[in-house]
Structure 1
Amino acid sequence: MTKLKHMFQRKEKKYLLSYADFEQLIVKLGSDLVEDEYGLHTISSLYFDTEDYDLIRASIEKPDYREKFRLRAYGEPQESTPVFLEIKKKYAGIVYKRRVAMPLEEVADYIAQPEDKFASGVERQVSQEISWLLARKQLEPKVMIAYERRAFFAPSEPEFRVTFDFNIRYRQEDLQLLSGTEGARVAPEIDVLMEVKALGAYPIWFAEALANLAIYPGSFTKYGQTYQRYLFKKESFQHVI
């Protein structure tokens, strides 16, 4: 089992692929990329924001610094399933993720009093950051986003990872992770979202594969697209009436 990391940083770049692009890329990369131990698995995230969606509205403007807060689960969670409360920050092109883990059944009490959960160490530090963010922004659940993922790593490049996300969907009602992962497609025109996560330059073999298949970076964030396509319209209508 992969060791839990509470804090890490990296660069992330997105690519919008067709199913044909995905299949050709996997074949071309061969053994240079190896699928991780989880195989195809489901990820669901409950995104928190202010009443007026200040976090995502600021993020869409692409400032040097932006942040998001979410509750993330892997697989179909039960009350005892470990889940992650995550602050995701981006500054000067570098993504910083800071998180704590706990059973889903403890999350509500933790959010009410997050500093009291961890006594010391890295978890305590991250917990204090979460406490400060929740208090400063008065965050509340806004949307659930789920998708299926296949994740790959490069044996020759330990910090280089590539993930492929399928069937990205959202739900605005029944914002409980215990309620399943059903939802409407965020972007029906996108078959696969590829995210490349690296600390530095891409390995030559990966860059060559992208060039040979004419695969180029695109712009897409799951929460950002959901807000712009669906939540913003609903919010604007509510303000009008």
Structure 2
Amino acid sequence: MATEVSKHPKVITKYRLNYAQYSQLRKMSYPHLVEEQAGTHELSALYFDTADFELMREVQEGSIYQELFRMRTSDRLMEKSLVAMEIVKQFDGKNSQRNVLIPYVNAQSFLRDYRKHVMKKGLEAQISREIEYLVSGKNLVPKVVISSDRIMAKCLKKGRLDINFDFNIRWRSTDFDLRKGNIGDFVDPTLNVLMTVKSDGDCPLWFRELLEELSICETSFSSLIVTYKEHLFNKEKKHYVSEFVSR
């Protein structure tokens, strides 16, 4: 088991790219950017929420303080693979993440009884308490899996700059087994590539000039928000309407 804490909040900016822009960006950013881990990785994140989607609604409404809990994997799972039990916080536009890494078999136990905290020893106490308080205090339950195929890159020069390129972003609100990988319906069928840039502040000048040259514009696109608004919210409304009619 292990713990991870982000050292400081990151500024996150997103960009919507077509395939031509992506190809040109990769070519023109060399040698500034290199792949952090070779190849494409299959990511999945299982988000927990209250019965009425309280946490997702706060994100969608743009609250100053936002908090989410998710179970995250960075590649196709096997029984001994580690998953991150992660709290994501945002305050005044800056994100921070705190997580504990546990074997997937332990994570399965957590899924079977998610109101009972399974991490008792050998973990950073404060993070463990935060997870337990959030999950049990708000009665969080598994709600939706967001998955994608991702290429990760980083800047070699001074200054922290991490870039993720996500393809085939999908969602599903059933079958929460993360070993199934990137399956489900497309969050947005018109989206080719979502580029997420994480930095300590301002991006390097060469990168800003490259974005301008390729006409790549910033976007507010959020896979979770789009999934909630376009898919889960409509499903939730239908549920409450049918429940009301049946009374």
Q: TM-score range by the shorter chain?
A: over 0.9
Shift of 1:223: 1.2
Instruction: Name the counterpart of 1:212.
Output: 213
Instruction: Name the counterpart of 2:245.
Output: none
Instruction: Name the counterpart of 2:156.
Output: 155
Q: How does 1:152-231 map to 2 (within 5 A)?
A: 152-231=153-232
Q: Secondary structure at the match of 1:130?
A: helix
Q: Secondary structure at the match of 2:4?
A: coil
Query: Does the Cα contact within 8 Å between 2:42 and 2:74 map onto a contact in 1?
Result: yes
Shift of 1:109: 4.0
Q: What is the CA deviation profile of residues 198-235 of structure 1, one whole-angstrom value per residue up to 9, with x for unaligned ones? A: 01111111111011111111011111111111110010
**Distance across 2 between alignment mates of 1:115 and 1:144:** 21
- Moved segments of 4+, more than 6 Å: none
Q: How does 1:31-180 map to 2 (within 5 A)?
A: 31-110=31-110, 111-114=114-117, 116-119=119-122, 123-180=124-181
TM-score (norm 2): 0.91
- Assess, with a 3 A threshold, how the Cα gap between structure 1 residues 95 and 193 changes in structure 2: closer, same or farther: same
How many residues are paired up? Answer: 237
Query: Does the Cα contact within 8 Å between 1:164 and 1:195 map onto a contact in 2?
Result: yes
Q: Percent identity?
A: 36
The one-letter amino acid paired with 1:80 is: K
Q: What is the CA deviation profile of residues 156-179 of structure 1, one whole-angstrom value per residue up to 9, with x for unaligned ones? A: 135211110000001111111133
TM-score (norm 1): 0.93
Instruction: Name the counterpart of 2:4.
Output: 5
Q: Secondary structure at the match of 2:107?
A: helix
- Assess, with a 3 A threshold, how the Cα gap between structure 1 residues 209 and 58 changes in structure 2: closer, same or farther: same
**Distance across 2 between alignment mates of 1:6 and 1:91:** 16
- Unpaired runs of 5+ in structure 1? none
Q: Secondary structure at the match of 2:24?
A: helix
- Unpaired runs of 5+ in structure 2? 243-247
**Distance across 2 between alignment mates of 1:116 and 1:146:** 25
**Distance across 1 between alignment mates of 2:159 and 2:120:** 32
Query: Does the Cα contact within 8 Å between 1:115 and 1:124 map onto a contact in 2?
Result: no
CA RMSD of aligned residues (A): 1.7
**Distance across 1 between alignment mates of 2:74 and 2:130:** 23
